[in-house]
Structure 1
Amino acid sequence: MYKVIGSRASRGLRVLWMLEELGQPYEHVPAKPRSDEALAANPSGKIPALQVDGETITDAVAIMTYLADRHEALTFGAGTLERARQDAFTLMILDEVENLLWMAARHTFVLPEERRVPEIKDSLKWEYEQALPRLEAAMTGPFLTGEMMTLPDMLLTHCLGWAERAGFAEAPAKLADLRARMEARDAFQRVLELP
């Protein structure tokens, strides 16, 4: 059985959602960042962490990739052109969407107050607005990679919700529709009931 360390109100949501989509049993420890449980799993205190077979995997996207590959679901096979396209979407979302959201969070509440530069947020919001139309234009079907839901769809959905809560621009129509469909999924709704 898998053990997920990390609250739903964090990147832990992605891992919990992936496990729900896969129909895999898991134990959930709703730990906050830098809590005793988080530090025991990851010396940085960052969440989420996944414990499996006596090993600990950190970083939400690394965990999601591991789970998708292990269960051969929500991903294309390694070494295929479809997987390369999927990975390109994943990396674009991490680089051009999540990175901006994380930087804004750091300068809002994560960093010590004397280290924050609140003025940076306007620039980050502008960059975000530039990235979303490129993502939307690259969509090739009802999901980012075409007809099949894959890991980047889940990643982007989480980021779009985060962006809304952080006061970033609304997503363009196709991405907003993707988010609505993804958040309506039973697996996503089950995760929202977790602590």
Structure 2
Amino acid sequence: MTYKVYGMVQSRAFRVLWLLEELGLDYEHVPAGPHSAEIKSVSALGKVPALVDGDTVITDSSAILTYLADKHGAFTAPAGSKARARQDSWTFRILDEIESQLWTASKHSFVLPEAERVAEVKPSCKAEYVRNLERIMAELEGDYLMGDAFSVPDIILGHCGGWARNAGFPDGPDAFGAYLKRLRARPAFRAAVSAGQKG
């Protein structure tokens, strides 16, 4: 079965493409933008990404990553295990402490109507992003968040690192730069970049 992924590579859809490449699965990429006719044909919310698996549509990048990893039994700890609880803690922490800063800054840069944007919040987002990254990197006990095992939260944090650079956020600690270098050296990461460029 071939999955269908909706969303531009410059969006959170990249996370889904990356995991599909890690899993070695076939997929079709539809580079749909938010609220486009293409995405609204499968998801009334108009948000990207969306994954179509048969007659089921799954939205939200973290939900899609969790679904695919669980379904194919890779890059995740078993549901209900202590390792999975630790992995999920990383996932939720990254969404709360790292992605939220990027998303807030994005909203006040170009997402919200211009009259609702408050540019003054962006320096605060950048400072908090760096503080949170420093704490996360200080807790790293291996090449990846789960030690020696690459997993779902690494995809999310790795994507956030690229998002941050594109958004003009500080690079953060040297350890984060080394971590991103390891992630970007993975063949599946490079394949996802290439796939997105074709899409």
CA apart distance, 1:53: 2.2
Q: Aligned partners of 1:27, 1:62: CA distance in 2, in Å?
A: 19
* 1:151 paired residue number: 152
- Which letter does structure 2 place at the counterpart of 1:107? H
* 2:47 paired residue number: 46
- Which letter does structure 2 place at the counterpart of 1:68? A
Farther off after superposition, 156-165 or 184-193: 184-193
* 1:170 paired residue number: 171
* Ranges in structure 1 where 5+ consecutive residues have no aligned partner: none
* 1:88 paired residue number: 89
- 2:127 aligned with 1:126: yes
Which runs of structure 2 are paired with 1:18-167 in the superposition (5 Å)?
A: 18-167=19-168
Q: Aligned partners of 2:6, 2:188: CA distance in 1, in Å?
A: 18
The Cα offsets for residues 9-68 of structure 1, whole Å up to 9 and x where unpaired, read as 100000001000000001111101111011122212110000002000000010000000
Q: Which runs of 4+ in 1 moved over 6 A?
A: none
- 2:183 aligned with 1:182: yes
The Cα offsets for residues 131-172 of structure 1, whole Å up to 9 and x where unpaired, read as 011111221211111110001111101001111111111131
- Which letter does structure 2 place at the counterpart of 1:27? E
Q: Aligned partners of 1:92, 1:59: CA distance in 2, in Å?
A: 16
CA apart distance, 1:188: 1.1
- Which letter does structure 1 place at the counterpart of 2:112? L
CA apart distance, 1:114: 0.7
CA RMSD for the aligned pairs?
0.9
Contact 1:86 1:145 in 2 (8 A): yes
The residue matched to 1:140 in structure 2 has which SS? Answer: coil
Q: Aligned partners of 1:76, 1:34: CA distance in 2, in Å?
A: 34
CA apart distance, 1:175: 1.9
TM-score by length of 1: 0.97
- Which letter does structure 2 place at the counterpart of 1:116? R
Q: Aligned partners of 2:86, 2:178: CA distance in 1, in Å?
A: 21
* Ranges in structure 2 where 5+ consecutive residues have no aligned partner: none
- Which letter does structure 2 place at the counterpart of 1:118? A
Identity %: 49
Contact 1:74 1:150 in 2 (8 A): yes
The residue matched to 2:41 in structure 1 has which SS? Answer: helix
CA apart distance, 1:70: 0.4
- Which letter does structure 2 place at the counterpart of 1:97? I
TM-score by length of 2: 0.95
- Which letter does structure 1 place at the counterpart of 2:146? T
* 1:4 paired residue number: 5
CA apart distance, 1:174: 2.1
- Which letter does structure 1 place at the counterpart of 2:104? M
